[in-house]
Structure 1
């Protein structure tokens, strides 16, 4: 039987975190809660804020973290997780034919499944269990989000590849599989914060393949310098891999990273040598996210921890800076990235004379490296990035009792692209709308969480990458959020309209992309306790945007129209007075007469009756979108999805029937079904939200 070389994760040490007064020298200061307290000194040490003046990173740059698993649901990591855009969410099918089923964020090569979280089957070490999460967090924590810690590359995406167990042990076979996955699925950089005392053809060949694919390879050099049993960490005497892996002709394929303390002195544990080390970065008292899972015990009740030590923590600083470099210049080759990092290094020889020539080029200078990257003519080719547009597309999201899938599709249900809008444990559904909320000329996709979770609004790019998020109401509110978009102040940037669901006084807020309130008012109606649904448009062609609301369950089935200050302009009954199931509302020109109509659908408990009204409440049409005996209501949106002269009415099925989307248009005096398609699983009956 062939021997398989062993790989062992680098130990993470903990020291007591010493909090020093924070002097912020960088021009850019992120608002993360613990940045000034825990991170600013060593971020300034490597001139990272200066790098952020050039770029904060691109969501198109993918960092593969090969490690012991990443807490993909961590609040400071979730939004920066890579999402496999070729895979439909958890349908049990290998949609992109890459050999991995439902690999949404990466893969677990230990358990051979699609969940790359750390796992505790038997034994574990605290450092091993947290290792991948801390490494990922240093490289690319979600930054400037008012919580936690900052990452080096604010917007880079994390591909989580679990190839080491919770004790921090693994084999070159699994490492090689993870490397090949990263190659196959578009990683730009691979971080490897582990070492082994031997290598084999399996690992070296995989590294060669990654190098030839143009991937930047970063490795920690090890923490053995305090251990006299292995000659004090001298890598020339005892090389460690993959840090000391060279190409077939001795080419440098790996950026080997050592650790320094806050004085730029080589950390006592950091290995050294003339050949394997390229650069050094802070690794002596680093704060980072950790695995957050209180059910595992007290040691996992905190989201963050300071005082981590190890070259494992130094490596992701270099990885993150490589991400910034590839963000500002996607055509840089891996050789160019390595050369620029070495050429721009800060000389720390005077602090480390006893290790002259044995600690690489010096200390990482993020500002200089990114600046030079921006000025350098790249010798490679920028990778193609899959792009989707929400123009003339239908937005679809799942209702209750299911993971919240978000989907972009066309009017036939083809050309579908799907991602998870919220963590897998949330089963309350979500609404989706689109709008240009950042003024970049492209529409973003905005989600509002359904009942049962916090009132979180999230902003996605048209590729499903999270670009922002905020709580629309108090974080303890659990009634759900309804959403719409429109440009109320005529500045070319859409505002987000939110309305509270059941259990809160019916507060409507008009906010910017960060959740800052611009206007706010309350909606009143007889018996109103189920919140209100919401839409927004210039319904009366007066040049001002109005807010259109439909009452929630338990109250009169009213449509009400307000200006942005909350002054009521119109009101009428959408359905018979006795109906108490709620009213869903949308707006559009469905008859091509140049005027907008208000379109309603009955809420839960009602028949799937769609009604069309003029801006003053005159009924202009009606039809049943599904069987007239069905009593789960319907959800709807209005928009032009087929590029003709009028808008279509898109209807999603309510709770209690198979999940379908149907598209209707005006034909003569009535409405006809243009298309119908199924979404989600065959047996799913939790309702379908639609948007435009």
Structure 2
């Protein structure tokens, strides 16, 4: 049993995307040493932040912003009533609130702060979804389930058949894995309960603390077993709350992600393969799962220096909210329409803190990204949390279109930590010398949480809005820059850690090798607001001189 539980706990600790956060009403209740660290400076504060505070204090102190920048947050929804976002939410001035009329004629009724593509006109919303491989298996199984060989497949369906086989293999393997994990969890919980009951009886208490267990000195065989079971797990930080979180995630996997019978999209009743079937959804941009999107929005736009919460990166910015990302995989069509909506309604920058392994309607997203490129809108995207080399394994969406066109308005962001040592790279961050542009803080970052709460979190999902926030800050002072030039200002001004040896991201084993930070992105650097502003000013001055020469 000892070997089983050790291996089991290790597996639990290495499950990506599991966090056991505690939302608090005041940031002071969180570890103060992490508050706004991402805004700090490498030299003056001795942390690997992005020098936002330095930029305001030293570079921008005598300057005034020239433009209110709109950042579209395409995500799970945002709590637009959060105390630290007041006055920072985009308002569609062409729409009259609550009159039930599409005043601006864009097809979306009462879209005051953005749009929710995960709902219907009756106000019903989607919270959970399948993973894309599940949807692919469900959609293609009726076509291919009786096919014995690829030779039986018509030529125009060969690629679809290959995708079906790949997804079916992943679906079957993952389903089996999560069913086995459920049994492990049930067995583990049973033994944990037994151990807890033995300790309660021994101590004659209805509840006890880890310290109570550590102090036990007994020769009773059952008590010794219970102590030996609980003590090492408590010392690892494990508790019943974590176990409940693991059970909840396991249920999410089996009941939602990998459940062929779970079809939440039916409440919308659109054709997911028809981009022209686009006028669905509702104006509820918060929805019932706004945690992720609120964290993202806070890093970009939380009110600075107001004595509450955190300091966002960009002062002169508004957040346009597109609710597109459920618990599960987003649909390509929703992503495409959200990008188009953002561009058509005046977004300057789009933040995409999501990704997935399969993209059956990739052409829709490609067209939308190209649409943004053609209309001078910068897209900032989270590289992902699989500790994967995305030069070798593609994740979607991506800057590469099906026609092998690489858009130039795209920044891909990996996650870095507070300390500029071997642990600089986040253990979970995807990386790639070609396909990741730069890194940004994404470990132990404090931001906003729905209902005017706050939280500490990890993920490239939160590195991306740090970069989007820096981009918005730069653009608000230098609106003369195009989207491509804005990207150049950020990418070419990174603070280099290229020669530093860091641990290669790895979430499958405890054994990690060291590599040069330069090999993990094409800059080997971390975004820096102060340096980006300096370079932006230089670029604008050079543009002005060039224009005058003409």
Q: TM-score, normalised by structure 1?
A: 0.45
Q: Distance in 2 between matches of 1:311 and 1:250?
A: 22
Q: Distance in 2 between matches of 1:355 and 1:121?
A: 36
* CA shift in 2, pair 1:34/1:322, >3 Å: farther
* CA shift in 2, pair 1:380/1:239, >3 Å: farther
Q: Distance in 2 between matches of 1:336 and 1:46?
A: 19
2:315 maps to 1:315:
no
Aligned to 1:242: 397
Aligned to 1:585: none
Q: Distance in 1 between matches of 2:382 and 2:491?
A: 16
Superposed, 1:163-174 pairs within 5 Å as 163-165=324-326, 167-174=327-334
User: In structure 2, which of residues 351, 362, 377 is the aligned counterpart of residue 215 of structure 1?
Assistant: 377
Q: Distance in 1 between matches of 2:338 and 2:116?
A: 9
Aligned to 1:41: 37
Given that residues 260 and 284 in structure 1 are in contact (C-alpha distance below 8 angstroms), is that contact kept between their aligned partners in structure 2? yes
Shift, 1:32, TM fit: 10
Superposed, 1:406-421 pairs within 5 Å as none
User: In structure 2, which of residues 64, 88, 98 is the aligned counterpart of residue 80 of structure 1?
Assistant: 88
Q: Which moved more, 1:71-80 or 1:175-184?
A: 71-80
User: In structure 2, which of residues 445, 449, 468 is the aligned counterpart of residue 286 of structure 1?
Assistant: 445
2:526 maps to 1:363:
yes
Secondary structure of the residue that 2:400 maps to in structure 1? coil
Q: Distance in 2 between matches of 1:340 and 1:156?
A: 19
User: In structure 2, which of residues 342, 359, 363 is the aligned counterpart of residue 182 of structure 1?
Assistant: 342
Q: Distance in 1 between matches of 2:77 and 2:301?
A: 15
Q: Distance in 2 between matches of 1:51 and 1:243?
A: 31
Q: Distance in 2 between matches of 1:12 and 1:314?
A: 17
Q: Distance in 1 between matches of 2:519 and 2:342?
A: 33
Superposed, 1:527-538 pairs within 5 Å as none
Please tell me the root mean square deviation across aligned C-alpha atoms, in Å: 3.3
User: In structure 1, which of residues 260, 269, 285 is the aligned counterpart of residue 428 of structure 2?
Assistant: 269
Shift, 1:113, TM fit: 5.6
* Structure 1 residue runs without a partner (length 5+): 1-9, 18-30, 226-232, 293-301, 382-692
Given that residues 86 and 96 in structure 1 are in contact (C-alpha distance below 8 angstroms), is that contact kept between their aligned partners in structure 2? yes
Q: Which moved more, 1:336-345 or 1:247-256?
A: 247-256
Q: Distance in 1 between matches of 2:541 and 2:111?
A: 32
Cα-to-partner distance string for 1:552-587 (whole Å, 9 max, x where unaligned)? xxxxxxxxxxxxxxxxxxxxxxxxxxxxxxxxxxxx
* CA shift in 2, pair 1:269/1:357, >3 Å: same
Given that residues 14 and 285 in structure 1 are in contact (C-alpha distance below 8 angstroms), is that contact kept between their aligned partners in structure 2? no
Superposed, 1:284-683 pairs within 5 Å as 284-292=443-451, 303-306=453-456, 308-351=457-500, 352=502, 353-361=515-523, 362-377=525-540
* Structure 2 residue runs without a partner (length 5+): 1-15, 41-48, 131-247, 253-287, 503-514, 545-550
Cα-to-partner distance string for 1:220-264 (whole Å, 9 max, x where unaligned)? 000101xxxxxxx01122111224535853343310000111124
2:68 maps to 1:60:
yes
2:301 maps to 1:140:
yes
Cα-to-partner distance string for 1:379-418 (whole Å, 9 max, x where unaligned)? 999xxxxxxxxxxxxxxxxxxxxxxxxxxxxxxxxxxxxx
Higher relative helix content = 2
Shift, 1:197, TM fit: 1.6
